[in-house]
Structure 1
Amino acid sequence: MSKVISFATQKGGSGKSTLALVLAAPLATEYGLRIAVLDCDYQQSIVKTREQVDAANFAKLREANPDAQYPYDVYPWQLSRIFDFIDNPEHTYDLIIIDVPGRADGDDVFNALTACDAVIVPLVSDYLDRASTAEFMTILEAIKKAADDAQIDFQYYGLPTKRVAGQREEKEMDEYIDGLGLSRFNSYLGHRKAYTRASTLYSLLNPAWARYAGGTKDTSDEIRRVCEELIERLGLPDRRATAATSVSTVSSSAK
């Protein structure tokens, strides 16, 4: 059965869509997960990245290899139809990622969050972001308590993003979240230009694409730590040996 997660927050500009882009490709290509991304955000950033940024490179790939595929599937989707996708018995994805709109109001957002096994919240250390993010995570804590009472598995985690090493605000953010008793990842993503150049076609763990995007070994190390913590926390399969022998990973529904 698929695990379902969302990258969510109630404040725009926190990088939730970027986070989905940064992680989905390496989880598919390096760790061998069959992944679907449901782009439910009004801006459709992930869909646009595939259609407007990656399409030309994909066409070139197809010229050289007609069997080439994107590493994971992307669907423009309506929040109101989340369960139509999740409950479809024909899907054999390991992981379904939902990119929800940057708000916490409305039954559609609430229903999408409760459909998830885990919600990942970008943690940005800016003071104004901090209070808004903590408020959103408190809502998730209430959902978790209700889920626990109903014996339904639901988790949420803060994931530090745009982190700048040594800044006082970063330490204060960690202390603030920990002081509220909220959950967060031990790993993090730094404030790196390469993450704004994430692709739905190429992983930033691909050395050639990483160089093009301005990535470094530190970039790769960060991404691997986050991917492996996510896999461990959600109990996802790790198929690195299988993925390493494949030229590209094809989702079972993409054939």
Structure 2
Amino acid sequence: MKIVSFVTQKGGTGKSSLAVSLAVAAAESGLKAVLIDIDPQSTAEEWYKRRTAEAPAVHSISWANLSSRLYRLRQQGYDLVIVDTPGAESHAASEAMKEAHFCLLPVRPSVADIEASAPTVRHLNENAKPFAFVLNQCPTGGRTSRTANARMTLQLLGGLCDPTVAHRSDHVDALAAGLGVTEFSPYGKAADEIRAVLQWLTARLRRLDATEIADDEGGAIPLSAMS
């Protein structure tokens, strides 16, 4: 089982929207995925209340119970756990980073978002925790210079998820409907971007474990094998 925590110290980055859509895309890809909401704002929990499908489940818990809940989920054979955290420095975010195998830091292509990520990056580096930025809510159309400049800056600060996620109404509408964007508009650009982020993430998780998991045939290591 692999644990991926979404962490950021700035609100409004679209963290919860990304987390729920990524969990949905993971479930659609065949992974046994679950989302844990330790954010007091409970965005993921409220999303799940509007939802008719049972998977992926959302567990809304106190950060103090995260470790014990993860233990039970591991016993239940889950492949992927996504943890949604508060958009501020807190015990909850620190616990989520400690438990994670990998952390994703959603940031918009703005100086304010990048500067606000500094304490989180410092904490992750001090604890040797693998992480990557995810550029989210990027401008569409011809306004690409801001995104390109943000990419160059973030590549210097740490890892960067190669696919970017644009500012599209599908994310807002899907969240309101209790859906992931891959369900709301399966053939839309937003859905394609989320699937690309999932593909990048699962490949990164496999590479992280490549030195620990024996693969005698030299083929790809399935995420479900990473327990």
Work out which of the two has the higher radius of gyration on C-alpha atoms and give 1 or 2: 1
The code of the aligned residue for 2:194 comes to: I
Per-residue deviation, 1:4: 0.5
8 Å CA contact 1:70–1:201 kept in 2: the answer is no
Match of 1:130 among 103, 107, 114: 114
Secondary structure of 2:167's counterpart equals: coil
Residue 94 (str. 1) matches residue 65 (str. 2): no
Distance 1:218 1:112, change over 3 A: closer
Distance 1:105 1:72, change over 3 A: closer
Distance 1:177 1:134, change over 3 A: farther
Secondary structure of 2:127's counterpart equals: helix
The code of the aligned residue for 2:172 comes to: T
The code of the aligned residue for 1:41 comes to: D
8 Å CA contact 1:33–1:237 kept in 2: the answer is no
Secondary structure of 1:87's counterpart equals: helix
Match of 2:173 among 182, 187, 197: 197
Structure 1 partner of 2:138: 163
The code of the aligned residue for 1:204 comes to: V
Q: Structure 1: how far apart are the matches of 2:120 and 2:108?
A: 13
Residue 32 (str. 1) matches residue 63 (str. 2): no
Secondary structure of 2:181's counterpart equals: coil
Q: Structure 2: how far apart are the matches of 1:133 and 1:228?
A: 24
Per-residue deviation, 1:136: 2.1
8 Å CA contact 2:79–2:223 kept in 1: the answer is no
Match of 1:42 among 40, 43, 46: 40
Equivalence map 1:99-110=2 (5 Å)? 99-106=84-91, 108-110=92-94
TM-score (norm 1): 0.74
How many aligned residue pairs are there? Answer: 206
8 Å CA contact 2:165–2:193 kept in 1: the answer is yes
Q: Structure 2: how far apart are the matches of 1:174 and 1:138?
A: 19
Identical-residue share of aligned pairs (%): 23
The code of the aligned residue for 2:84 comes to: D
The code of the aligned residue for 2:77 comes to: T
Per-residue deviation, 1:168: 2.5
8 Å CA contact 1:231–1:238 kept in 2: the answer is yes
8 Å CA contact 1:21–1:198 kept in 2: the answer is no
Structure 2 partner of 1:11: 10
Per-residue deviation, 1:167: 3.2
Post-superposition Cα deviations, 1:199-235, rounded to whole Å, max 9, x if no partner, equal 58644334xx31xxxx753223212211111111112
Per-residue deviation, 1:134: 3.5
Per-residue deviation, 1:238: 6.4
Structure 2 partner of 1:151: none
Match of 2:105 among 114, 117, 121: 121
8 Å CA contact 1:164–1:190 kept in 2: the answer is yes
Gaps of 5+ in 1: 59-68, 145-153, 240-255
Structure 1 partner of 2:205: 234
TM-score (norm 2): 0.82
Q: Which has the higher contact order (CA 8 A, sep 6+)?
A: 1
Distance 1:238 1:141, change over 3 A: closer
8 Å CA contact 1:25–1:201 kept in 2: the answer is no
Q: Structure 2: how far apart are the matches of 1:177 and 1:223?
A: 20
